[in-house]
C-alpha cells in the first residue's frame, strides 16, 4: 500500500479580535512525511474542538503555546496507524494523540496512547473517557475537594465537562446538583437524562436570582466553566468554606474589554472561600483511576454522555465556532470518515 504524500490541514491565518470568524482559518494541502525511526503515521478518524483553543488563537504567553500563523493547528485526535517505524505499534492500531486539525499526522510514537474501539466508541476517548472527562473528575474531586453531602452548582452544565461534573457529584453523594445551560432543551436534558436536581436557562433572567431559587440554602461547590455573571452569582450563593474550581471562563474568551463581573470578590474573605484554577495536565497521576471508575459507570448505565458529531474535516472550523456559541450538547467532535 502506498503512503499518502499530501493531506489537508487547518491553519490559523489571522489572530481574531473578539469573536473568531471563518476568515481567520484556511484549509490547505500540505506534505505528509513518512514515519522515521520511532515514529508512526496516523490517519485521523475523529478530532476535538475545545473552548481552550480560543485562547491559543491569541499571541500571548499562557499554559499552552499559541497556535502559529499559517502552520497546522493541533489538538486531541483519534486515528488509525497506517505506517509504523516504532516498536509496539502496527498498522491498524488505534491511537489517541495531539495532532488533530488534519487528515494525516506523523508523530513520535511515545506521544501516542493506544485505545480500543472494543472498550468504547473511538470518539469517546476525546470526551467522556478523555481530556474533558478527566477535567470533570479531577476538578470536582481533587481541586474542589468534593465531599458527600455537598451542594454543587455547575455552569456550562450541558457541555462535555459540565454534564460529567454533575453526574459524578450525584454518584458521589451530593445533597443537591444544580446546572445552568443556554436553552430550554439543554435544561430539560440536565434534569431528565443527566439527573441534575435543578437546572435553569441563564438567558431567562439574572443568574443570581435563578441560582437563589434553585439552591435556596446555598451551595458548597461551584464548578466554573463560564466566569463573569455566573461566578458573581456563585460567590453570593456559596456557604462558608465553599470551594470554586475555575475550569474555564468562556463568557469572556471573545471579549475585547475586561468583564464587568464579579464585583463581590470581597465575600471570599468573610466566607473563607477557596478559588483554585484547574489544568487537567496536573492530574495525570489519577488518569488510570478515572478511566476505570468512569468506564464502570458507563457500562452500568449510571453515567450518560452526549456527543455532537460534525462530519467532514472541511467543517471543522464551523464546528469550533459553533461550539463557542453553545451549538453543541455534550462533547463536540469532528468525524473525518472511516
pLDDT for res 79: 98
Quick one: cell of 220?
Answer: 458548597
pLDDT for res 290: 95
pLDDT for res 62: 81
pLDDT for res 255: 63
pLDDT for res 110: 96
Q: What is the pTM of this model?
A: 0.88
pLDDT for res 249: 83
pLDDT means per 10 residues, the chain with 338 residues, are: 92 94 97 97 97 91 90 97 97 97 98 90 94 96 98 95 97 98 96 97 97 98 95 97 92 68 91 95 92 92 95 97 90 91
pLDDT for res 261: 75
Amino acid at each position: 500500500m502506498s503512503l499518502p504524500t499530501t493531506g489537508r490541514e487547518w491553519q490559523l491565518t489571522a489572530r481574531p479580535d473578539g469573536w473568531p470568524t471563518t476568515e481567520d482559518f484556511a484549509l490547505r494541502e500540505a506534505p505528509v512525511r513518512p514515519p522515521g525511526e520511532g515514529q508512526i503515521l496516523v490517519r485521523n478518524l475523529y478530532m476535538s474542538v475545545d473552548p481552550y483553543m480560543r485562547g491559543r488563537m491569541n499571541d500571548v504567553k499562557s499554559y499552552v503555546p499559541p497556535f502559529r500563523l499559517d502552520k497546522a493547528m493541533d489538538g486531541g485526535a483519534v486515528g488509525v496507524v497506517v505506517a509504523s517505524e516504532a516498536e509496539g505499534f502496527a498498522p491498524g492500531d488505534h491511537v489517541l494523540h495531539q495532532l488533530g486539525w488534519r487528515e494525516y499526522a506523523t508523530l513520535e510514537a511515545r506521544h501516542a496512547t493506544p485505545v480500543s474501539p472494543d472498550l468504547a466508541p473511538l470518539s469517546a476517548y476525546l470526551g467522556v473517557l478523555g481530556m474533558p472527562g478527566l477535567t470533570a473528575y479531577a476538578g470536582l474531586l481533587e481541586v474542589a475537594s468534593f465531599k458527600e453531602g455537598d451542594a454543587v452548582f455547575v455552569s456550562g452544565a450541558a457541555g462535555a465537562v459540565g454534564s460529567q461534573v454533575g453526574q459524578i457529584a450525584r454518584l458521589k453523594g451530593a445533597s443537591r446538583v444544580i446546572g445552568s445551560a443556554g436553552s430550554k432543551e439543554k435544561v430539560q436534558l440536565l434534569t431528565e437524562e443527566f439527573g441534575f436536581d435543578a437546572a435553569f436557562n441563564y438567558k431567562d433572567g439574572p443568574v443570581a436570582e435563578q441560582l437563589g431559587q434553585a439552591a435556596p440554602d446555598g451551595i458548597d461547590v461551584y464548578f466554573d466553566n463560564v466566569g463573569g455573571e455566573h461566578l458573581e452569582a456563585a460567590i453570593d450563593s456559596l456557604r462558608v468554606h465553599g470551594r470554586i474550581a475555575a475550569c474555564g471562563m468562556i463568557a469572556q474568551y471573545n471579549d475585547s474589554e475586561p468583564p464587568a463581573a464579579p464585583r463581590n470578590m470581597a465575600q471570599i474573605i468573610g466566607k473563607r472561600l477557596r478559588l483554585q484554577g484547574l489544568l487537567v495536565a496536573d492530574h495525570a497521576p489519577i488518569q488510570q483511576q478515572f478511566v476505570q471508575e468512569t468506564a464502570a459507570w458507563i457500562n452500568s448505565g449510571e453515567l450518560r454522555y452526549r456527543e455532537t458529531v460534525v462530519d467532514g474535516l472541511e467543517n471543522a472550523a464551523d464546528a469550533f465556532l459553533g461550539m463557542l456559541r453553545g451549538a453543541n450538547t455534550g462533547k463536540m467532535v469532528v468525524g473525518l470518515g472511516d
